[in-house]
Amino acid sequence: MNSPQLQRGVFLALLFAVTAAFGWILLPFFGAVFWSMALAILFTPLYRRLLARMGKRRTPAALATLAIVLVIVILPLVVIATSLVQDVAEVAQRVRSGQLNFAGYVQQVVAALPQWLANLLDRFGLSNMEAMLSKLSAVAAQASQAIGQQALSIGQNTLDFIVGFFVMLYLLFFLMRDGSDLSKTLRNALPLARPHTHYLLNKFTTVIRATIKGNVAVAAAQGLLGGVAFALLGVQGALLWGVVMAFLSLLPAVGAALIWAPVAIWFLATGAVFKGLALIFIGVFVVGLVDNVLRPILVGKDTQMPDYVVLISTLGGMAVFGINGFVIGPVIAALFMAVWSLFAESNEEDGNAPPFPPPDDAP
């Protein structure tokens, strides 16, 4: 009854149970744990340079790296968030006072359409302005309610955010200082062949580093260029729309266009032809070029994944995991491709690849 197989089975069951329990108690801090790991992977090269210059003293090098992360990542985000809150309050006030009337803007655009396009809309039943404005008002009301609920939720969860933020910084320090030891322990613990373990862990770190650098660089560039273009063209709330474009640019190919394209259409419909054409030029050949050039170079090249896989995994990851999914999605996709590649190679090496007979119509 006390055979080695039974002992190993009980031990594996216990191992699975305590691992699941540990993951369960970490679940409330999933975001803090994930971003501490991601930032540790991203800034490990900097930590190693500082470690070499500080005589291999881990604690001072980790503290210096943490200070640099605070200066170049955290503080700029705090400043942008503070300015964004002011812009959101100003735009909300203008909407309440009637200075910003989105329904009126839509009506102006429809009134300025050429006759053939108006007839086409009428054929599809889209020319009923009252119905369109009613739907637009309903959507705006629902959006305002959702934003209000989200803002209330954020206000109520301020303490949770602060706790999670300090947990992230605390874990980031120790992952920097003891990351190499933890990595060795993980490599030794995984029940995989040593080359496979090295390959999968290297793939994991490479994809996280490339995804964060690539997506953040593209988002920052598109948000900055779009916000500057809006400010030069006299659009109210340029900072707000720039931040929204930066956020939406996490969706490859179409993200930022969801903001600048309607504004360009409104410019054209209201007679500001030069501003409309200028915004279209900037959106297509400047903002769009950033996405088409930088993202494949910074994301696809290092991850060695096709652009369509990066797009689908990013969209799916954000649908499942929220904002964290723009990193988690490509990581899961890269590991999926890597594991199946290793499986195929191992089958070929062992001679266990199943034979696939050619189809009947094969030559």
Q: Pick the most confident of 29-33, 251-255, 299-303.
A: 29-33
- Asked if 294 contacts 221 with a C-beta cutoff of 8 angstroms, the reply is yes
The residue ranking higher by pLDDT, 209 or 109, is 209
Two tokens, residue 82: 């503070």
pLDDT in tens, 181-191: 888 887 777 77
Chain-wide mean pLDDT for the chain?
75
Tell me how far apart the alpha carbons of residues 233 and 228 are, in angstroms, rounded to a whole number: 9
Closest by CA to 232, choosing from 242, 217, 219, is 242
pLDDT in tens, 47-90: 889 988 888 888 898 899 999 988 887 777 777 767 666 666 66
Q: Is the pLDDT of residue 362 over 50?
A: no
125 exposed, middle or buried (CB, 10 Å; 0-12, 13-18, 19+)? exposed
Find the mean pLDDT for residues 82-109: 63
Tell me how far apart the alpha carbons of residues 353 and 346 are, in angstroms, rounded to a whole number: 9
Tell me how far apart the alpha carbons of residues 288 and 363 are, in angstroms, rounded to a whole number: 46
For the entire predicted model, the pTM comes to 0.67
Q: What residues have CB less than 8 Å from 126, skipping those under 6 apart? A: 132
Two tokens, residue 199: 């390959």
